[in-house]
Amino acid sequence: MTDVKTRIDDTVKSNDVVLFMKGNKTMPQCGFSSRVAGVLNYMGVDYQDVNVLEDDGLRQGIKDFSDWPTIPQLYVKGEFVGGCDIITEMTLSGELDQLFDDKGVTYNKEAADKIREANA
């Protein structure tokens, strides 16, 4: 388990934005992963995707690492942000934009605004 924790920690620390998900950013394997990847893709965020379906140890390890029971899980600049529901709420409220601004993560502000307009 230590090896998995080290791999997760290294991944989270060496990438500005990381999404632990089922599948990958071009082919998500569940609706929740698809929603979060879709938001990040649409907003033009450069992020590392990690497919937890490729490794059972990783799939459980990320849950233990964050003390969060579900996947997907988003990390920004080493910090756990949340899962699908939290990311959806943050996107619609503008909090995700603020987080990206505060952390110096590049994203397309117009795309973020369009998501909010479409869901108003």
Taken as a whole, the chain contains a residue count of 120
SS3 percent helix, strand, coil of the chain, rounded to 5, is 55, 20, 25
Contact, 5 vs 65, CB < 8 A? Answer: yes
The whole-angstrom distance between residue 14's C-alpha and the CA centroid of its chain comes to 15
pLDDT, one tens digit per residue, over 50-76 is: 999 999 999 999 999 999 999 999 999
Pick the CATH number of 2-118 from 3.30.1330.60, 3.40.30.10, 3.40.50.300, 3.90.550.10: 3.40.30.10
CB of 1 within 8 A of CB of 57? yes
The domain ranges of the chain are 2-118
The pTM for the full model equals: 0.95
Q: How far apart are the first and last CA of the chain?
A: 44
Statement: residue 91 has pLDDT above 90: yes
